[in-house]
């Protein structure tokens, strides 16, 4: 699997679009839900270091092999998905992944409908 590297600005634009789509679907964006973030690494050492730093930050983390020579670090945490919160967690996660020579893929989570 070839991970495509995008800029933080690209991710911010996609995040804004995702939050807008969630609002249109009736998502209660202030309600915490399990949010998943994914990054890819070529080096097991880099993936393990990123995973450890994420665990220390309170994430539940798994590392899996994705194709020849690519490792996926998947991190999960309860979070709201309002724009401010998303901007904050994406910026932190993106910077962490960059520090460990990885490629940030993005985030996702279930839609929680407003009552």
Q: Which two tokens stand for residue 81?
A: 């998905």
- How does the average pLDDT of the chain come out, rounded? 95
Digit-coded pLDDT (tens) for 62-86:
999 987 889 999 999 999 999 999 9
Class of domain 8-108: alpha beta
Per the CB < 8 A criterion, the answer to whether 103 and 3 are in contact is: yes
Q: Which residues of 41-72 are buried (b: 16+ CB within 10 A; e: fewer)?
A: beeeebbbbbbebbeeeebebeeeeeeeebbb
Range 45-59 average pLDDT = 97
- The residue-averaged pLDDT of 14-37 equals 97
Q: Which long-range contacts (CB under 8 A, 24 or more apart) does 97-101 make?
A: 97/39, 97/50, 97/73, 99/50, 100/41, 100/46, 100/47, 100/49, 100/50, 100/53, 101/41, 101/42, 101/43, 101/46
2 confidence band (pLDDT: 50, 70, 90): low
CA-to-CA dists, residue 9 to 6, 12, 16, 80, 82, angstroms: 8, 5, 11, 21, 18
With 60 as the cut, is the pLDDT of residue 1 above it?
no
Domain ranges of the chain: 8-108
pLDDT for position 7: 93
């Amino acid at each position: 699997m070839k991970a495509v590297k995008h800029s933080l600005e690209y991710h911010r634009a996609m995040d804004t679009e995702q939050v807008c789509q969630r609002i249109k679907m009736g998502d209660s964006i202030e309600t915490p839900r399990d949010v998943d973030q994914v990054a890819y690494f070529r080096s097991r050492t880099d993936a393990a270091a990123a995973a450890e730093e994420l665990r220390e930050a309170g994430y539940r983390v798994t590392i899996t092999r994705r194709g020849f020579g690519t490792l996926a670090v998947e991190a999960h945490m309860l979070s709201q998905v309002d724009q401010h919160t998303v901007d904050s967690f994406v910026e932190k996660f993106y910077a962490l992944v960059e520090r460990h020579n990885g490629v940030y893929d993005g985030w996702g989570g279930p839609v929680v409908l407003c009552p």
